[in-house]
Amino acid sequence: MTLSLLAILIVVAIGWLAPDLSRLRDFVWLRGYVAWLNERLAANGLWQSELGLTILLLPLLVTLALIDTVLNAPLHGLLDFIFGVAVLFLAWGPRDLDVDTDRAARAGTASDRAAALAALTGNEHPSGDDASSGQLVDAAFGAGMTRWFAPMFWFVVFGPVGALGYRLVQLLAQSPDLRVSLPTNQADIADRLHAALAWLPAQLMTLALALASDFDAVAKAWRAHHDTHGHGFLHLDLGFLSATARACVDIDDQEFIASDGSVIADTAVEEARRLLWRLLIVWLTFFAIVVLVGWS
């Protein structure tokens, strides 16, 4: 846990001090890999089935695990630690969340807000329609879960394999160009697998949000969402994250262009951005407490 916490702090610091390095998180190789498998296994029934996702992911994760194991011995694990930081940095994104949320908060025109929403959701083709403050807040918290908190959670649990494994599943489930290249059964199972992997980090985000903001409002919104949708606590619907986020943010109709032509910041999105940083601090504080208790 100590080395995991240190690796997370290093990755957060890199993102804060050098956001331009996010361009290194390029998963174009994954598109090429999926295309390569499609060319060679198009007629294979197993590849076309739901088990085809195993054929896609297993070689990548096994290779990563072997590298992790080999690097664990030399130099008392220093190489393995550096490797872990590199993998977490790769999985921490792909885009810089702080830059995208700041851009969304300061987008004044309809086209700028649509582009900001597309950047947060990972849609490479903006619709051109105006995005409301509520949509941007939802997208900011959804991006916070997929870019920061879920990779962090699975990195702590399973190390580099967990972080990169989550990122690969998330991209296969939510990246439009990757989804269309997958057989239909695989795309469906990728959706379900991603929901399963994201469920616990999203629940822990909600708990941290309650501790960092308004506990009663978060608890009421969380219960109301499950009551309204008529399913239990263990259902893989992640909509409760947006519901609880909106309960902590004052979303009002406002003009985003002042009379002098200057842009007025979207206060709801700016508050969502600050809340995401608070949640990150709560998580890191919890990890630090676990480390200190383990040393005592």
Mean pLDDT, consecutive 10-residue segments, the chain of 296 residues?
Answer: 92 90 89 91 80 92 95 85 96 90 87 89 69 88 96 96 96 90 88 95 95 92 86 81 90 59 74 94 94 75
DSSP 8-class letter at 23? G
Q: How far apart are CA 184 and CA 49, in angstroms?
A: 8
Q: 34 — alpha (psi -120 to 50), left (phi > 0) or beta?
A: alpha
Res 254: pLDDT: 60
Ramachandran bin of 159, using left for φ above 0, alpha for ψ from -120 to 50, beta for the remaining angles = left
What's the total number of domains in the chain? 1
Helices (H), the chain: 2-17, 28-41, 45-48, 52-70, 78-91, 97-105, 110-121, 133-144, 150-174, 176-181, 184-212, 215-229, 240-247, 267-295
Question: Which residues does residue 263 pair with via DSSP β-bridges, in sequence order?
Answer: 257
pTM: 0.92
Q: Residue 262 and residue 132: Cα distance in Å, rounded?
A: 19
Range of the domain at 257: 2-295
Q: What is the DSSP letter of 257?
A: B
Predicted local distance difference test score (pLDDT) of residue 263 = 61
Structure tokens that stand for 118 in this block = 């597309």
What is residue 75's three-state secondary structure?
helix
